[in-house]
């Protein structure tokens, strides 16, 4: 579990529901700490700097309520007294293990590092290649979808998708269908910057076979 800690069997002592957001308060009596887990039916609207209701998020939150407490979202206060494992991270707490992807700092731009591919996924938004550096998990993205701010959703761009798949095959000598073959391979990564503010890892192409 990257950058997190599993706190076993904490008691849920209070549930506060307000404006589509449930704050579940778990007490860690051993440490004398309170751990808050948030179930939020809203998503952040960066244009207006506020949280607004979202149908997809609301559906997901209802599923979490059923899965973890066998209750509807509105019935969550009835769960007070139950014991749950809580996963504690630097900036939030969760009822399930969350993968934390680290970001490179600006002072790393221009550095070349070596690592090994830990995982390769294609989630319909892009191809994501995970690797570790100094004990933390990082990810290189080959995105082929566009985010529509007005609809708060990702949409696949078929032309971009084809280009990224071709780039993947050219870079690694493996077709996207065989992407799992990349796991365990040694890679060289250059830390780059885009537009002077976005810092990202760029995996170098494999040497061509003679």
**Sequence ranges of the domains in the chain:** 4-94, 106-203
Burial class of residue 154 (count of CB atoms within 10 Å of its CB; 0-12, 13-18, 19+) = middle
The pLDDT averaged over each successive group of 10 residues in the chain (210 residues) is 80 96 96 96 80 89 96 97 93 87 90 95 94 91 88 88 96 95 96 86 87
What is the model's pLDDT at position 210?
66
Extract long-range pairs of 103-110: CB within 8 Å, 24+ residues apart. 103/138, 103/199, 104/138, 104/191, 104/199, 104/200, 104/201, 105/199, 106/193, 106/199, 108/191, 108/199, 109/191, 109/192, 109/193, 109/199, 110/190, 110/191
- Alpha-carbon gap, residue 113 to 130, rounded angstroms: 14
Q: What are phi and psi of 99, to 5 degrees?
A: -85, 120
What is the model's pLDDT at position 74?
97
CATH fold for the domain made of 106-203:
OB fold (Dihydrolipoamide Acetyltransferase, E2P) (2.40.50)
> Quick one: tokens of 3?
């950058």
What is the model's pLDDT at position 135?
84
Contact (CB, 8 A) for 41 and 58? yes
Q: What are phi and psi of 94, to 5 degrees?
A: -145, 160
What is the model's pLDDT at position 49?
78
- Alpha-carbon gap, residue 66 to 182, rounded angstroms: 37
Distances in Å between the Cα of 23 and the Cα atoms of 2, 16, 56, 65, 73 are: 24, 5, 19, 12, 11
What is the model's pLDDT at position 1?
47
Residue 141: CB partners within 8 Å, gap ≥ 6?
126, 127, 128, 129, 200
Q: What are phi and psi of 17, to 5 degrees?
A: -110, 125
Distances in Å between the Cα of 119 and the Cα atoms of 116, 122, 132 are: 9, 10, 10
């Amino acid at each position: 579990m990257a950058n997190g800690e599993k706190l076993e069997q904490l008691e849920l002592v209070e549930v506060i529901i307000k404006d589509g957001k449930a704050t579940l308060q778990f007490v860690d009596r051993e440490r004398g700490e309170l751990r808050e887990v948030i179930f939020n039916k809203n998503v952040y609207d960066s244009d207006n700097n506020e949280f607004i209701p979202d149908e997809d998020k609301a559906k997901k939150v209802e599923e979490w309520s059923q899965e973890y407490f066998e209750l509807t979202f509105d019935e969550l206060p009835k769960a007070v007294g139950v014991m749950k494992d809580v996963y504690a991270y630097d900036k939030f707490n969760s009822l399930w293990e969350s993968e934390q992807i680290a970001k490179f700092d600006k002072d790393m731009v221009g550095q070349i590092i070596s690592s090994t591919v830990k995982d390769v996924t294609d989630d319909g938004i892009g191809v994501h290649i995970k690797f570790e550096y100094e004990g933390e998990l990082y990810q290189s993205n080959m995105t082929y979808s566009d985010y529509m701010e007005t609809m708060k959703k990702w949409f696949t761009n078929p032309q971009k998708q084809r280009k990224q798949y071709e780039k993947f095959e050219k870079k690694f000598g493996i077709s996207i269908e065989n992407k799992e073959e990349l796991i365990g391979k040694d890679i060289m990564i250059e830390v780059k910057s885009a537009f002077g503010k976005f810092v990202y890892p760029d995996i170098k192409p494999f040497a061509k076979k003679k």
